[in-house]
Chain A
């Protein structure tokens, strides 16, 4: 009898475990969070909906679209969402190793995420590098405590890692490992800061504070030549007549820290950071009294394509055609035919609409080349473009 009771008790205990296990299997932690997130999504949308259904200020079309969106979210399919990361294990082999970020399983509201990543949402390839590359934590885990272990939540915590260069070196190495191209090195990614945002160009003045003496020959060589290359560009006839779109093609190589998206640059001329990369972290360590850490960064060397970005063949061909246009077009005519992008619309002091009488045109254009000058310049440019060198 005693045995029977013991056996029954044991069975009950085992059954209890089984039930608990069953519940845990069918209702995992993440489902709870995903559900809550979807509910929050709906709540947000409904708020929007209220605003767009306002009789005076709203728009019924938008309101209807929102309504449909809410409907679509009413019964969401709860599933594990993940970013597959390249790494030692491959998904197609049936094993993806450790390299997978499942963060978006719980953080499922994309709109909310992009609001939190406003600075990088347009230029950071989340699909390639996932979340943990910057945020740390355990990307493969679906349990809150484990997944958030060792995680850097915000910019403040990420920046706090900068007590040594390790965080950066790790980050850049991580990028190199995950990059789809073969043979990438950490130095190819130093354009990313520790927060995944673009690293900051600090300007050559910060570098030249110290880089005198031993490095004088190198500095002098560049200061007299490439540092002032933009001065030449500014005096070029096609630059003067070119519109902002045309000029941007010049900024690309003749300035430092040029951002294609905004069309703005940090400094004119090809200065230190044009080749050595943005100096934010190097300068930070140097001026915080951590020379050794700065040195570790500088020893990474150059990005593999640093020269080739500008020194490519036929880079100036666009100028040849623009100058040819200047030469062949009627004198003073606004050169805004498509192709070269040359237009006088934004050049200072130039009339926007060409006057109707051809005789007036010569008078009204303050900046103009003589026939000989144009031919000579076009010739130089053509020969340079053929050789593939930057003048």
Chain B
């Protein structure tokens, strides 16, 4: 069983080349593509994530290693959708034209038809603003748009229906928006447009499928696939811009222990004001025209994170990200534990280098933030607040350094019980070394994985987060779980609480449990040491 699996992984990697797997863009094909590709700009990426394969193959570089669950037909339809057999209705379909979809579907699926009927797609010139926007699109397409029909996105025949993607549907008319979404790729992961790539590339994802637990991955799949396309925020079939300007549009994904953006914003004064008064704010207005204080009395997620600088907003909330998710060690902290060697020779972007909080690039991002904050606050206050956020994170990283140091010694002294050799190996650990090689893993990690066949203790950022996604016999142990929760949950909660000005979140949900975890780790390490000493004495 194991051998063909390994072969499948290696072959799939060889077949598609290594670069796309590692987040680098493969050199573009010489032949010009038929249309511009937004979500997956290269042929290789398209092949891995969007090209139709039915349910025979998964997504990403490990596509051959697993078969998705049938539900994926609906999660990533452009790749996995299998049309139901409607051959019996073939004659019926011939009778009706593409403009008549609605006539049947009003009865069959009244929900989506009624939503569409009320949408701007059904009346693209319903007011002056939309008429002018539609006119722009008409000019580009060279044809008149009376309605945007089902067939415009789904295809003209029931026999070859397509599921819409950024490339084949939305981006055809909404070019600027699609380009802005695609521009996230330049800023590296984590971002929206690559969130599906990030989802299926991690070893524990494939490992869970290998164990036959594909259904458990639904918790990751839903957000990660939606974020990479338009209808994650502009939901079907209304596709409203106004909807996506509401902070709730972000909330369905940006919540929970590792990125409690919604919880921290919702309970901050900014969120409270939105909660009290937001129902009257003009969300129909484009962001660039919003007058702070008059239209919005407090900022929304979009107002701050989609600010591009120079008085412009765009559909790219990651362009000002400095700390990003908060999981990559910053260069500015002098680590004493093994964190100082991060990324340990690993050459897998984006985890191949430390974060630089004070690089010119980050300084430029910070100045753009201040330009924005200054619309309401004293810039001096805003600068101090954000510098305080940096300091908070540096301190939090120092606490993580302390914890990592304890973990280092526990692993070095072989105190883990059961030992890495005796317990379940790291997710996919038995094949990772051969699949990636020393070039991508670094000599040290490659050798460790190769020699011990994946029976290695992996702790800390970022691959150590596996202990929150995977459990095998004896793996992870309690102390590892404590540590993963410390940095992936509580540290990040405190970060978001501080960043979004929710002081209680910053302390009681963040810092306090974070240092609590540190205490647990210390305690656990002491117990392991005592146990080992007792065992030694007993043997004598």
Contact of A203 with B438 at beta-carbon distance under 8 Å, contacts A159-B358, A289-B380 already known: no
Chain B stretch 419-460: residues in CB contact (< 8 A) with chain A: 434, 437-439, 443, 446
Q: Which of B310, B434, B446 has the most CB of A within 10 A?
A: B310
Q: Which residues of B contact A119 (CB under 8 A)?
A: 359-360
User: What residues of A have a CB within 8 angstroms of the CB of B374 in the complex?
Assistant: 206, 209, 287
- Whether B370 lies near A206 (C-beta < 8 A) is yes
A69, CB-defined interface residue at 8 Å: no
Q: Which of A154-211 contact B (CB under 8 A)?
A: 155-156, 159, 193, 197-206, 209
B335 → chain A, closest Cβ, in Å? 13
How far apart sit A199 and B367, CA to CA, in the bound complex (Å)? 12
A47 at the interface (CB under 8 A from B): yes
- Whether A54 is near chain B, meaning CB under 8 Å from some CB there, is yes
Q: What are the 6 tightest A-B residue pairs by CB atom distance, in nearest-first order?
A: A287-B379, A57-B437, A202-B367, A51-B443, A51-B438, A200-B364
A206 to B446, CA, bound (A): 49
- Could you tell me if A193 and B360 are in contact, using CB atoms closer than 8 angstroms? yes
Known contacts A54-B438, A156-B332, A287-B380, A201 near B371 by CB under 8 Å: no
Which residue on B lies nearest to A206, using beta carbons?
A: B371
Q: Are A202 and B364 closer than 8 Å at their CB atoms?
A: yes
Give the chain B neighbours of A48 by CB distance below 8 A: 443
Name the CB-closest residue of A to B36: A348
Given the contacts A155-B332, A206-B370, A206-B371, A51 and B439 also touching, CB distance less than 8 Å: yes
Query: Does A29 interact with chain B (Cβ within 8 Å)?
Result: no
* B32 close to A (CB within 8 Å): yes
Q: A residues within 8 A CB of B311?
A: 205
**A205→B438 CA distance, assembly (Å):** 48
1/0 contact trace for A273-291 toward B, CB 8 Å?
0000000100100011100
Contact: A352 with B371, CB < 8 Å?
no
Within 8 Å of chain A (Cβ to Cβ): is B368? yes
* B residues in contact with A51, CB < 8 Å: 438-439, 443, 446
CB distance from A189 to the nearest CB of B (A): 16
Contacting residues, chain A, for B360 (C-beta < 8 A): 119, 193, 197-200
Least Cβ–Cβ distance between B396 and chain A, in angstroms: 17
Cβ-defined partner of B363 (8 Å) among A54, A57, A280: A280
Residues of B within 8 A of A50 (CB): 443
User: Using Cβ atoms and an 8 Å threshold, which residues of chain A touch B383?
Assistant: 287-288
Interface presence of B309 (CB below 8 A):
yes
**A-side contacts of B439, CB under 8 Å:** 51, 57
Question: A327 within 8 Å of B by Cβ?
Answer: no
Distance of A48 Cα from B345 Cα, bound (Å): 11
List the B side residues contacting A199 at CB < 8 Å.
360
How many chain B residues sit at the interface, stated as a range, is 20 to 34
Also in contact, A202 and B437, with CB within 8 A (given A193-B360, A288-B380): no
- Proximity string of chain A (282-320) to chain B, C-beta cutoff 8 Å, 1 when within and 0 when not: 010001110000000000000000000000000000000
Which residues on B are within 8 Å of A, measured CB to CB?
32, 140, 309-311, 331-332, 358-360, 363-364, 367-368, 370-371, 374, 379-380, 383, 434, 437-439, 443, 446
CB distance from A241 to the nearest CB of B (A): 17
CA distance A341 to B439 in the complex (A): 39
Provide the residues of chain B in CB contact with A202, threshold 8 Å. 364, 367-368, 371
Chain A residues near B (Cβ < 8 Å): 47-48, 50-51, 54, 56-58, 119, 155-156, 159, 193, 197-206, 209, 266-267, 280, 283, 287-289, 349, 352-353
Contact residues of B: prevailing secondary structure:
helix
Residue of B nearest to A47 (CB): B443
Question: Nearest Cβ in chain B — how far from A118, in angstroms?
Answer: 9
Q: Known contacts A155-B358, A156-B332, A288-B380; is A205 also within 8 Å of B310 by CB?
A: yes
Q: Which residues of B contact A47 (CB under 8 A)?
A: 443
Q: Is the CB of B367 within 8 A of A200?
A: yes
A48 to B140, CA, bound (A): 54
Q: Please give, as numbers and ranges, the residues of chain A lying within 8 Å of B368 by CB-CB distance.
A: 202-203
9 further A-B contacts with Cβ under 8 Å, apart from A56-B434, A199-B360, A288-B383, are A47-B443, A58-B438, A155-B359, A200-B360, A200-B364, A200-B367, A201-B364, A203-B368, A209-B374
Please tell me if the beta carbons of B437 and A56 are within 8 angstroms of each other in the complex: yes
Q: How far is the CB of B172 from chain A (nearest CB, A)?
A: 13
Q: With the chains together, A56 CA to B364 CA distance in Å? A: 44
Is the CB–CB distance between A200 and B363 below 8 Å? yes
Q: Which of A58, A205, A349 has the most CB of B within 10 A?
A: A205
Q: For residue B438, which residues in chain A have a CB less than 8 angstroms away from its CB?
A: 51, 54, 57-58
Measured CB to CB, the closest approach of chain B to A229, in angstroms, equals 15
Whether the Cβ atoms of A203 and B358 lie closer than 8 Å is: no
CA distance A56 to B439 in the complex (A): 11
What separation, in Å, do the CA atoms of A199 and B383 have in the docked complex?
18
Q: Can you pick out 17 interface pairs between chain A and chain B where the beta carbons lie within 8 Å of each other?
A: A47-B443, A51-B438, A56-B437, A58-B438, A119-B359, A155-B331, A156-B332, A159-B358, A193-B360, A198-B360, A199-B360, A200-B364, A200-B367, A203-B310, A203-B367, A203-B371, A288-B383
For residue B30, give the distance in angstroms from its CB to the closest CB of chain A.
11
> Which residues on the A side are within 8 Å of B310 (C-beta)?
203-205, 267
Contacts of A155 in B (CB 8 A): 331-332, 358-359
Residue numbers in B under 8 Å from A156 (CB-CB): 332, 358
In the bound complex, do residue B332 and residue A280 qualify as a contact, i.e. CB atoms below 8 Å apart? Answer: no
Contact B367 A280 (CB under 8 A): yes
Known pairs A200-B363, A204-B310, A206-B370; A352 contacts B32 (CB<8 A): yes
Q: How far is the CA of A154 from the CA of B522 in the complex (A)?
A: 32
Whole-angstrom CA separation of A198 from B371 in the bound complex: 20
